[in-house]
Structures are given as C-alpha cells and as structure tokens.
Chains A and B, each alone.
Chain A
Amino acid sequence: GENVEQHPSTLSVQEGDSAVIKCTYSDSASNYFPWYKQELGKRPQLIIDIRSNVGEKKDQRIAVTLNKTAKHFSLHITETQPEDSAVYFCAASIRGNQFYFGTGTSLTVIP
C-alpha cells in the first residue's frame, strides 16, 4: 500500500516567518494530496489540497507544491501568525477511495 512520510515532526518559527512542511509518498497512482490542520482536541480540517495534474496551488498565505517525479509535496505558510499553531497532516489518496496520512507536524508560532 501507500506510505506517506512527513517531516519535520515539530517546527517552531517566529511570528511573521515562513514555515515549510514536506511529505513524500510511495505509490505513483496517488492523485490527490490534501493538507489538514488539527487544533488540540478538535477534528482535522482541510486547509488546502492539490491534484496530480497541478504543480502548485495557493490560497492567501498558504501554498502547496507537488513534484510527481520525485513523489513529494510541500506545504508553505507565509507570514505566520500565532493562530497558525496546530498539528498539520499531509495525506495521499489513490482514486479517492483510501487516504494515507503522514504522522503530523506540530507547528508552534512564537509571538
């Protein structure tokens, strides 16, 4: 099956700096790559996603890039704010049936 690896497991940045989280996947059949934000005690919520026919997608301060050849995708958060502090998960989906998640990155934005 698919194997998704996520790095780093923890990340601390100063407010206003950028944060980058990277994921790799193993199955070239994966074609949908969502990113979720999970605050403590809450449910995961989708923040951005990208499909395999697109190389980059941006939504305000958040962007995702995908390199199909290298089988990796990254989340970029610019101008970080304290409310960005949370655990972020990447995932890969094959045909939309099954989702495989990374192990999460705990992001702390220091005011």
Chain B
Amino acid sequence: NAGVTQTPKFRVLKTGQSMTLLCAQDMNHEYMYWYRQDPGMGLRLIHYSVGEGTTAKGEVPDGYNVSRLKKQNFLLGLESAAPSQTSVYFCASSSLAGGVNEQYFGPGTRLTVT
C-alpha cells in the first residue's frame, strides 16, 4: 500500500515550457487535491476533484489545468510555465467514508521555473 505518490520529485523548466505532474493514490479515495506551498504562505489549493471525471477550481487556479480520468490518478498541467510557478507542489487525497475527511499527502514535487 503505497498511499499517495507523485511523479516527478524534482523538475526544472524554462519559461514557456509545459509539463504534467502525476498524482496516484491506491486507497480508493474519492477526493483528490493539488496544493502549492511557498515560503511563508502555507499551502494553497490549486484545484480539487470530488470524483472521477470531475474537477473544480481552488484558491489559486490560474495557469494550471487538471484532469481526473481515473479515480486513482489526478494530473496537474502547466501549459506555459512562469517563474511565479516555482514552488513545491503537493497532492493529497481523502475519503468521506465514516464522516471523516482526513487528507493524506504525497511526498511533493519541487518545481523550478527559470
């Protein structure tokens, strides 16, 4: 049981390049989330999904797109990377089973945009 995994762990992009971050969970969770973490800013929600085939915008969605084609995967895309998107990205998943919504986080992806 791997929990929540993220690919890749590190990435350096040039301004204008695109990339996709992959999040996978093996806990059969309905909910999945993408956050970015910047120094002094805490975690900010980019997009989230409440089930396969559904996505919604979070606090800071501009410049990002997401897809949830399979229940276990949640992809975060950057179509044209900007230096302001340099950050650590965390994926999380949760389930409302039993009325609890504990989030489990992935190990993070450190992205640098030059």
Q: What residues make up the interface of A, taking CB atoms closer than 8 Å to B?
A: 1, 6, 9, 32, 34, 42-46, 49, 89, 91, 93, 96-104
Number of A-B contacts (CB under 8 A): 51
What are the residues of chain B within 8 A of A96 when measuring CB–CB? Answer: 31, 94, 96, 101
Interface of chain A, helix or strand or loop or mixed? Answer: strand
Main secondary structure of the interface of B (DSSP, over half): strand
A81 to chain B, nearest CB (A): 23
Complex contact A43–B90 (CB within 8 A): yes
A101 and B43 in contact (CB under 8 A), knowing A96-B31, A96-B94, A96-B96? yes
Are B103 and A1 in contact (CB-based, < 8 A)? no
Known pairs A43-B106, A99-B33; list 18 more (Cβ under 8 Å).
Answer: A1-B59, A42-B107, A43-B105, A43-B108, A44-B43, A46-B102, A46-B103, A49-B102, A89-B42, A89-B43, A91-B43, A96-B31, A96-B96, A99-B103, A100-B45, A100-B59, A103-B42, A104-B42
- What CA separation (Å) do A1 and B102 show in the bound complex? 21
Can you show 25 pairs from A to B with CB atoms below 8 A apart?
A: A1-B59, A32-B101, A42-B107, A43-B105, A43-B107, A44-B90, A44-B105, A45-B105, A46-B102, A46-B103, A89-B42, A96-B96, A97-B48, A97-B56, A98-B45, A98-B48, A98-B58, A99-B33, A99-B45, A99-B103, A100-B59, A101-B35, A101-B43, A103-B42, A104-B40
Q: Decide if B2 is an interface residue (CB 8 Å cutoff).
A: no
Residue from B33, B40, B50, B58 in contact with A103 in the complex, judged by beta carbons closer than 8 Å: B40
Contact call B31/A97, Cβ cutoff below 8 A: yes
